[in-house]
Structure formats: C-alpha cells, structure tokens
C-alpha cells in the first residue's frame, strides 16, 4: 500500500478532485484532475497487486462551467486566481466520479469516468467588477458556460473512448437562461447497467 499512498499524495497535490476504485482483478485505479497553466487534464493511473503504478494517461481536458472570474486578493494574502461559480454562486468542487464493472459478465473490468464540463453551452454574460468583500474584488470573463455531464469508457483501463454527453437536453433555449448538470456520480449494477446521476 505505500506505493498507492504515494499515488494519492501526488493526486492530492495537483487536484481538487480525485477518485479511486479497485477492479475485479484487484487493480487499484485512481483518476484525478491535473491543473496546468492552460488546462485541466483528466488523468488516470492503475497499479496491479504488488506492482508499481502505471504512467498516468490523459483521458480528456475538462472545461470549467459557470462564470469564470479573475479574483484579486488584497490584504495579508495577495495575488490573482481564476475561479468559477455556477448559478446561485455554487462552487463545483466535486466534478468527477469513477466506476468499474464487477458484474462477472463480458463487460467485467470496464472502467467509466464521468465529469461535468462547460465546453458545449456558453452564452454572453456581461463582464462586471464586483466586490464580494473588501479583500476580494473579481472580474467576470463575459460569458457563462452551462455544464453538461460527460462520460468516457475503457475496456482495458488504458484506452478511453471519446467523451459522450449523458444529459440529453439542448439548452439553453434562445433568449432564456439554462441550467447546469453538475457533480455527477456513476455506478454499475449486477445486470450490468451503467447509471449516471447528477444535480441539476
């Protein structure tokens, strides 16, 4: 377990969100978000019993949803950070989930990664400067990205399918505000049917 603990420690240093599971073959699988200077990468690694972790694999790049804003901190802690809020000033901190098929069927061992993503539905949102408190003014980016739930599947734990959208709606409807699909979860029952859940 010391090697797995080191994987978790690494994932914790680069991620707000990470998930871990164990396959039927007792492979330990960890997925996480890796923040770079320009993107958020969705990555996965695995480790066979008694083995070493495999090199991490890039599954996709996540696009943050909501209002993206530049926050400037004044006072004892200074600096600029990018942050996002969904409608209602909701922070979307748990954005991914991971599941593996344990059904014993021909799909046993399939790995599923689900996440929320703002790549498909963006509308103009007037840029503004607001003072949340005296130490944190922020400037919005001028658009709002509604989040969809996306899923990717792997039959071998290494090669993942292109992401497909779980929710079927095509909002926002022209001239009206839409809604977000966020903080997804995924599970596989013994049949083996894959079920994805989310907040809306």
Is residue 64 pLDDT above 60, yes or no? yes
Neighbours of 189 (CB within 10 A): 11
Query: For 121-182, where are the alpha helices, taking DSSP H only?
Result: none
- Residue 190's SS3 state is coil
What is the rounded CA–CA span in Å between residue 71 and residue 84? 10
Are the C-beta atoms of residues 167 and 151 closer than 8 Å to each other?
Answer: no
Report whether pLDDT(30) > 80: yes
Question: pLDDT band at residue 20, thresholds of 50, 70 and 90?
Answer: confident
What is the predicted pLDDT for the residue at 27? 86
CB 43 within 8 A of CB 31: yes
pTM for this prediction: 0.78
């Amino acid at each position: 377990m010391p090697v797995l603990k080191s994987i978790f420690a690494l994932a914790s240093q680069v991620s707000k969100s990470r998930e871990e599971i164990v396959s039927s073959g007792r492979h330990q699988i960890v997925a996480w978000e890796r923040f770079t200077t320009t993107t958020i990468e969705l990555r996965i690694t695995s480790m066979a019993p008694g083995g070493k972790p495999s090199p991490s694999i890039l599954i996709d790049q996540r696009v943050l949803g909501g209002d993206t804003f530049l926050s400037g901190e004044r006072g004892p802690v200074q600096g600029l950070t990018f942050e996002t809020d969904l409608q209602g000033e909701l922070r979307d901190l748990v954005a991914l989930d991971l599941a593996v098929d344990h059904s014993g069927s021909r799909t046993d061992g399939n790995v599923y990664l689900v996440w929320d993503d703002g790549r498909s539905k963006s509308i103009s949102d007037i840029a503004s400067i607001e003072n949340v408190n005296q130490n944190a003014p922020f400037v919005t980016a001028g658009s709002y990205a509604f989040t969809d739930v996306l899923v990717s599947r792997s039959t071998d734990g290494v090669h993942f399918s292109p992401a497909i959208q779980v929710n079927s709606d095509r909002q926002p409807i022209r001239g009206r505000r839409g809604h977000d699909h966020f903080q997804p979860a995924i599970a596989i029952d013994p049949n083996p049917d894959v079920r994805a859940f989310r907040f809306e």
